[in-house]
Amino acid sequence: MTTYLLAGGGTAGHVNPLLAVADRLRERDPEASVLVLGTAEGLEARLVPARGYELLTIAKVPFPRRPNRAAVAFPARFRESIAAVRRIIGDRGVDVVVGFGGYVSTPAYLAARRAGVPVAIHEANARPGLANRLGARFAATVGVAFDGTPLPGARLVGMPLRREIETLDPAARRGEAAAHFGLDASRPVLLATGGSLGARRINRTMVDSADAITAAGWQVLHVTGAKSEVVDPDVADYRMVEYADRMDLALAVADAAVSRAGAATVCELSALGIPAAFVPYPVGNGEQRFNAGGVVSAGGAVLVDDADFVPEWVDATLLPMLSDAGRLRAMGEAATSVGFRDGTDRMVALVDEALGEPGGTAPSGA
State the virtual CA torsion across 128, 129, 134, 140 in degrees, nearest 10. Answer: -50
Helices marked H in 53-199 = 69-92, 105-115, 130-135, 163-166, 170-181
Q: Is 288 annotated as a binding residue?
A: yes
Please state, in angstroms and rounded to a whole number, the distance separating the CA atoms of residues 280 and 290: 9
- Which H or E element spans position 328? helix 325-338
Look at residues 334, 333, 304 and name the one whose alpha carbon lies nearest to residue 316.
Answer: 304
- Kindly report the backbone phi and psi dihedral angles of residue 5, in degrees, each rounded to the nearest multiple of 5, phi listed first: -115, 110
Q: Phi/psi zone of residue 310: left (φ > 0), alpha (ψ -120 to 50 degrees), beta?
A: beta
219 marked among binding-site residues: no
Q: 107-114: which pairs have CB atoms within 8 A and are 24 or more residues apart?
A: 107/58, 107/61, 107/78, 107/81, 107/82, 108/5, 108/7, 108/37, 109/7, 109/134, 109/135, 109/138, 109/139, 110/82, 110/85, 111/82, 111/83, 111/85, 111/86, 112/5, 112/85, 113/138, 114/82, 114/86
Quote the CA–CA distance of 154 and 83 in Å, as a whole number.
28
125 annotated ligand binder: yes
Residue 204 exposure: Cα atoms within 13 Å on the Cβ side:
11
Longest dimension (CA), the chain: 63
Q: Per the annotation, does 196 bind a ligand?
A: yes
Annotated binding site for UDP-N-acetyl-alpha-D-glucosamine: 11-13, 125, 162, 196, 288
Annotated binding site: 11-13, 125, 162, 196, 288
